[in-house]
Structure 1
Amino acid sequence: MSEGHILKCEPIYQGRVIQVALETVELPNGAQVELEIVHHPGGAAAVALDEQDRVCLLRQFRHASQGWLWELPAGRIDPGETPFDTASRELSEEAGLQAADWTNLGMMHSSPGIFTEVIHLWLARGLTSLPHEHEHGEVIEIHWLPLGQALDWCHDGTITDSKTLIGLYRASALIKSAVEMLAEDPGC
């Protein structure tokens, strides 16, 4: 089977961030379907860990979610910006931090049935504080939690934001793997 392709694309809405289109698509099995697709430029998020393995989490008010969410510092990729540039900029703007060490944690699709957004995840270490100011439309509290507690919050449902769940799980797995490698090779 080949990949599906767009037969017809009818723009429905063009906003500041997203575009919504009604797309007629031929799927790899030959079936034709009409889909409402939300086009988004993508985003990036940073799992910022300090020397005590505390993670920087934002408690942020989100109108669309009808309340407060626990999230990683993250944001939309601006035109001409790389995902890494976005992660670095958002860490600075939202958490007042810059990182000396960055590790790519891969990407994720936030809601692939209707949304083109891809979020790139990074582990940020070697942190230093910067002066910062939140944007007018942001209501954010900055918190530092032990990574273990943040992972417990992932398990018990306190953290529900998908990029935050995936970022924390991937960062934890990477750290665990590094610790196991050191334990196996004590000569390092």
Structure 2
Amino acid sequence: MRKTNRYPVQQANSLWQIYKTVSFWKVMKNFVFIQLGRYIPFLSVKNWLYRTFLRMDVGKQTAFALMVMPDIMFPEKIKVGSNSVIGYNTTILAHEYLIKEYRIGDVVIGNDVMIGANTTILPGVTIGDGAVISSATLVNRDVPPGAFVGGNPMQVIYTKEEMDKRIREEQD
């Protein structure tokens, strides 16, 4: 189960009530800096923008590839460790607006994590250190440290122990 806080709504679906949950001006500011970050080719500048203007917790030497889309409503709920790679066109969500409720949850991505292109990470998910996420994966639950996962819905392809064994066998 993902770790999200749930907020029920009355009347229309929760997206119609968006500016009761987050400031319009905050969303506009976030939009501008996310769009800049999506296209800036300089990783250190991109990380600085995310830390400074979006209040994201971004570790050293982390690389956000071209077109990565951090959460526009609550980017401050995203934490990415050091030396991780977030692949092309990946979406990292910290919110979900549904019919009868909306949900907000922290996204924690560990150190030395590799996330393939076109992946979607849902709110309330933790990705452990050293994990590898295959391209086009829907990360809908926590990923154990060192695991190799992929698919929609996400499945564990190799555990850390199985990955370590494969690496040892390849080196021999």
Higher strand share: 1
Q: What is the TM-score with the length of structure 1 in the denominator? A: 0.27
Q: What is the TM-score with the length of structure 2 in the denominator? A: 0.28
Larger radius of gyration: 1
Greater RCO, 1 or 2 (C-alpha within 8 Å, sep 6+): 1
